[in-house]
C-alpha cells in the first residue's frame, strides 16, 4: 500500500510547480483529479518538442507532470460548475491551486469559502512570492525567481556573468516543498482532526534550495560569486577536459583529494594534500589544477570515471540526458516508469518497498474522466448532459 492511498486531491494548478506537486502526491497513491476550464486548459498542453501533441492538447510539457491523474473539464465561473466543485470539495482531502489572488475571489475559491464545504480540507496555495508581502500580487515564473532570489547571479562564470540554470529547478523545488507540506498536514490531521491552509512561495523555496549560500552571505556580508565548473578553493572539486569528454571530479574532502591523487599515480602529492590544513587548500589550487589538467588528458572521461570510482573517488563523465536514460543504474529504480506512449515518466525519487511510488497511467486527454468523476458525485445522466451541452463540462 502506497503512503497516500485513499487520499483525494483536487488539482487546480497549471504550468510546472503546481502540477509537479500534484504529480508527486499521485505517485504516492493519492487520487488526483486535474480540473481545467473547458475553454482554457493548462497552457502546457500546447508546450513541448512534439508539435503534433501540442496541436491536440497533449504536449510533452503537460505529459511530464500529469501521469496517473484524472482529467475533469469544469467551468468554475459558471454557477453550475461551482455547485459541482462544492460537491467535489466535500469529497476531497486536499485542494492545491496556483491561481492569482483576484481569481480566487472571483471564483469563490478562497480557503475560508471552501472550508464551509469541508472543514478538514488541506488547502495549498502556490505562488511566485507568497500570499503576503509587497510582492504578493506580482506574477512570476521560474526564471524570474531565479533572478530575484540571487540564484541566477551565483551561477555562471566571472566572464559570463549571471546565467539561468537550465532545468526549472525552482518550479520543481517549489512543487516538492508543497508536496512535503501537504503530506505533513495530512499526517497532522490524522492526529488532531483539523484541516490546514498552506502558503508555498517559489521565492521561499529558492532560498531553501540555497541554504548554505544564504547563511554564508549573512555571515560574511558578501554573496557567492560564480565560479563555473571549478571551485576557487578546491582543485579536486571541478570539471576537467580529458582525452575525450569532460570529467567532473567531486573529491571534496582532504581524504578524497588524497585518494584522487594516489589513483592518478602521484603518491607524494596525495600525502601533501592529506597533510594540508583545510583552510590552506586554496593556496594549492593553481598548482594542483595545472597538474590535474595535464594528467587527465591522458585517458578518456569514461576511463577515468571507472578508474576513480573503483578507488572510491566521486567522479562522473559529463553526460547528456539521452545518455543518462540508457544507464543500467536506472534499471530497477522507481524514478522512471513505463506508462505507454513510448515514454517513461519520472515517478518519485525514492524506493519504499510496497509503498514505492507508482505512476499508474499516462497523462489523460482533456476531459477523459469528466463523466466518471461527475457520476461518482451522484449526478444523473441528464444533469451531466446538460453541463456538457452548456459547455460547463466536456
The sign one gets for the Cα dihedral 64, 65, 68, 74 is negative
Distances (CA, A) of 230 to 54, 85, 155, 316: 39, 53, 12, 14
Q: Which residue has the cell 491536440?
A: 56
C-alpha cell at position 357 = 511510488
Please say if 171 is a catalytic residue. Answer: yes
Question: Which residues partner with 97 through β-bridges?
Answer: 12, 125
Catalytic residue among 11, 93, 171, 288: 171
Neighbouring-strand partners of residue 94: 9, 122
SS3 290: helix
Which of 138, 137, 166, 131 lies closest to 151, judged by CA? Answer: 166
The answer for 205, left when phi > 0, alpha when psi is -120 to 50, beta otherwise, is alpha
Q: Is 227 exposed, middle or buried (0-12, 13-18, 19+ CB in 10 A)?
A: middle
Report phi then psi at 102, rounded to 5.
Answer: -70, -30
Active site residues: 171
Amino acid at each position: 500500500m502506497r503512503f497516500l492511498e485513499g487520499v483525494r486531491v483536487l488539482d487546480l494548478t497549471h504550468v510546472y510547480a503546481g502540477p509537479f506537486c500534484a504529480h508527486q502526491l499521485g505517485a504516492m497513491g493519492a487520487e488526483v483529479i486535474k480540473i481545467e476550464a473547458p475553454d482554457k486548459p493548462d497552457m502546457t498542453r500546447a508546450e513541448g518538442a512534439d508539435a503534433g501533441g501540442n496541436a491536440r492538447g497533449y504536449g510533452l510539457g503537460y505529459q511530464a507532470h500529469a501521469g496517473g491523474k484524472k482529467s475533469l473539464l469544469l467551468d468554475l465561473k459558471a454557477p453550475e460548475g461551482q455547485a459541482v466543485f462544492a460537491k467535489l470539495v466535500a469529497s476531497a482531502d486536499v485542494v492545491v491551486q496556483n491561481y492569482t489572488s483576484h481569481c480566487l475571489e472571483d471564483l469563490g475559491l478562497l480557503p475560508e469559502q471552501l472550508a464551509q464545504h469541508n472543514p478538514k480540507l488541506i488547502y495549498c496555495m502556490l505562488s511566485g512570492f507568497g500570499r503576503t508581502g509587497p510582492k504578493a500580487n506580482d506574477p512570476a515564473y521560474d526564471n524570474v525567481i531565479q533572478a530575484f532570489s540571487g540564484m541566477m547571479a551565483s551561477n555562471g562564470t566571472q566572464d559570463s556573468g549571471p546565467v539561468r540554470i537550465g532545468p526549472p529547478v525552482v518550479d520543481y523545488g517549489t512543487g516538492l516543498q508543497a508536496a512535503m507540506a501537504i503530506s505533513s498536514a495530512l499526517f497532522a490531521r490524522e492526529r488532531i482532526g483539523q484541516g490546514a491552509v498552506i502558503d508555498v512561495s517559489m521565492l521561499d523555496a529558492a532560498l531553501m534550495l540555497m541554504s548554505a549560500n544564504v547563511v554564508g552571505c549573512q555571515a560574511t556580508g558578501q554573496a557567492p560569486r560564480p565560479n563555473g565548473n571549478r571551485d576557487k578553493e578546491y582543485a579536486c572539486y571541478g570539471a576537467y577536459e580529458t582525452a575525450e569528454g569532460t570529467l567532473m571530479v567531486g573529491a571534496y574532502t582532504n581524504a578524497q583529494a588524497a585518494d584522487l591523487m594516489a589513483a592518478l599515480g602521484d603518491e607524494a602529492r596525495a600525502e601533501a594534500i592529506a597533510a594540508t590544513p583545510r583552510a590552506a587548500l586554496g593556496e594549492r589550487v593553481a598548482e594542483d589544477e595545472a597538474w590535474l589538467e595535464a594528467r587527465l588528458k591522458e585517458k578518456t572521461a569514461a576511463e577515468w570515471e571507472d578508474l576513480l570510482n573503483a578507488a572510491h573517488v566521486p567522479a562522473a563523465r559529463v553526460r547528456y540526458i539521452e545518455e543518462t536514460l540508457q544507464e543500467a543504474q536506472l534499471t530497477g529504480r522507481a524514478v522512471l516508469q513505463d506508462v505507454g506512449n513510448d515514454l517513461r515518466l519520472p515517478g518519485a525519487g525514492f524506493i519504499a518497498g510496497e509503498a514505492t511510488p507508482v505512476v499508474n497511467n499516462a497523462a489523460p486527454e482533456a476531459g477523459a474522466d469528466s463523466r466518471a468523476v461527475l457520476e461518482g458525485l451522484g449526478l444523473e445522466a441528464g444533469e451531466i448532459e446538460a453541463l456538457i451541452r452548456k459547455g460547463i463540462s466536456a
